Structures are given as C-alpha cells and as structure tokens.
Amino acid sequence: MLSVCPFCYKEFSTKSNLKIHMRDRHSGQGPWQCSLCSKLVKNKSSLRVHFYQQHRKPKTDIPSIPDLKPI
Ligand SMILES: [Zn+2]
Ligand SMILES: [Zn+2]
C-alpha cells in the first residue's frame, strides 16, 4: 500500500518515508538539524547562519562542528 504525498503526489512505500518527505519538502523547514538546539533549517549555509546568530559560534568554528549533516 503506497502512501501518496497530498502536495506533490509523489508515492512512498512507507508512511514514515512520506512523513520525512513532507517535512523536508513541504514544511518550510529543512533536513538539516542544529546539534545544539534541534532547530531544522533548509541547508548548510542556513545552519551556519543559525549557529552564528543563535549560538554565537564564530564562523570559523562552524565547519568543524561534527553534527552538520542532514537528518
Ligand atoms: Zn510532496
Ligand atoms: Zn541551534
């Protein structure tokens, strides 16, 4: 039984895949998660801006943060 996205009609084999897709594509948030506060952002550069603005991390520190990966 396929789960179909109500926004773009893409088909997914499981409900959880559909959930991930909807979160990534249609929630206005993104798959990149801040390791410090769990905020979701659209991309790596948004995450860098977030780190800098919210956590006062110097920009030079940001590339070395280990949890910069999409969830
Ligand atoms: Zn969709
Ligand atoms: Zn954060």
- Which residue range(s) make up the domain with 21? 3-55
The whole-angstrom separation of Cα 70 and Cα 44 is 9
Q: Is residue 51 part of a domain?
A: yes
Q: Which of 60, 57, 28, 25 is nearest to 41 (CA)?
A: 28
CATH number at residue 32: 3.30.160.60
61, pLDDT greater than 60: no
Entry pTM: 0.46
For the CA atoms of 53, 56, 59, 62, what is the dihedral angle to 10 degrees? -100
The ligand whose atoms approach the alpha carbon of 48 most closely is 2
Whole-number Å distance, alpha carbon 40 to ligand 2 midpoint, is 8
Distances (CA, A) of 48 to 1, 15, 40: 40, 31, 12
Domain tally, the chain: 1
Whole-number Å distance, alpha carbon 11 to ligand 1 midpoint, is 8
Q: Is residue 64 part of a domain?
A: no
Q: How confident is the model at residue 66 (pLDDT cuts 50, 70, 90)?
A: very low
Phi, psi for residue 63 in degrees, rounded to 5:
-65, -20
Neighbours of ion ligand 1 (CB under 5 A): 5, 7-8, 10, 25
> What pLDDT does 11 receive?
96
> What pLDDT does 63 receive?
54
> What pLDDT does 20 receive?
87
pLDDT digits (tens, 9 = 90+) for 14-60: 999 999 888 777 876 677 788 788 888 877 788 888 888 888 876 66
